């Protein structure tokens, strides 16, 4: 069974987090959300019970676990996902252990997904110039270092990026297809009941 690690922090965009986690679970992917503390609270990392996160629009979510870099490597998970939400994405992209993991996952041919402002982690992890998208609000920080695209979902080798809450369904379904195949994607797609004419 494929497995996914989905990062979460205070200020994470809760739709981007939830659509990804829920869609992957529907495909049989084992999901684990891990809490990234703000730098000023990093001394609490490693406590057994993670705190309740307040999402960017105020929904309270309890992560599955604290972030422990030694338990979060590409030997443990098939994909690592970094959602957006300005404040949450800032916390994740500035975390040096997250930056190292992004490089490790790609080096080990595992998938890395970045959503919305989560794409800032491609910059802070010093990834080589390649196709990428993000939320329009952070485009200016990325255009010089990447081949910036405005496609809904951009696949660049094992780095998958997307633009915002409105593109998270096709992003999550792309991860399902890459991890579990086209047939599983179709199996998951039907019961979600997208409107006629939906372009994904």
Q: State the nearest-atom distance from the C-beta of 99 to a second copy, in Å.
A: 25
In this structure, what DSSP letter does residue 136 have?
G
Which residue ranges make up the site for a second copy (CB under 8 A)? 13-15, 18-19, 21-23, 25-26, 31, 33, 52, 55-64, 116, 135-137, 152, 163-167, 169-170, 191-200
| Identified catalytic residue from 16, 31, 72, 180 | 16
13 a catalytic residue: no
Q: State the nearest-atom distance from the C-beta of 102 to a second copy, in Å.
A: 22
Whole-angstrom CA distances from 128 to 99, 163, 174, 189 are 13, 20, 22, 33
Instruction: Count CB neighbours of 22 within 10 A.
Output: 12
What is the C-alpha to C-alpha distance for residues 10 and 1, in angstroms, rounded to an integer? 29
Is 147 or 150 the residue whose CB approaches a second copy more closely? 150
Is 106 or 152 the residue whose CB approaches a second copy more closely? 152
Which of 92, 100, 39, 91 is CA-nearest to residue 69? 100
Is 103 or 141 the residue whose CB approaches a second copy more closely? 141
135 a catalytic residue: yes
Coil vs helix vs strand at 144: coil
The residues annotated as belonging to the active site are: 16, 116, 135
């Amino acid at each position: 069974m494929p497995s996914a690690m989905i990062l979460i922090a205070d200020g994470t965009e809760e739709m981007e987090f939830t659509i990804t986690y829920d869609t992957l679970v529907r495909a049989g992917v084992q999901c684990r959300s891990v809490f990234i503390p703000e730098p000023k609270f990093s001394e609490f990392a490693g406590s057994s019970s993670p705190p309740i996160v307040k999402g960017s629009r105020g929904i309270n979510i309890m992560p599955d676990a604290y972030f422990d870099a030694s338990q979060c490597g590409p030997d443990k998970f098939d994909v690592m996902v970094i959602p957006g939400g300005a404040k949450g994405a800032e916390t994740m992209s500035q975390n040096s252990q997250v930056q190292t993991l992004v490089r490790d996952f790609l080096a080990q041919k595992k998938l890395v997904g970045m959503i919305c402002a989560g794409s800032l982690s491609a910059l802070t992890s010093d990834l080589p110039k390649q196709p990428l998208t993000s939320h329009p609000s952070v485009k200016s920080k990325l255009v010089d270092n990447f081949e910036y695209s405005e496609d809904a979902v951009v696949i660049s080798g094992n780095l998958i990026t997307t633009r915002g809450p409105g593109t998270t369904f096709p992003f999550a379904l792309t991860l399902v297809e890459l991890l579990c195949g086209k047939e599983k994607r179709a199996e998951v797609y039907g019961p979600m009941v997208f409107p006629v004419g939906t372009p994904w």
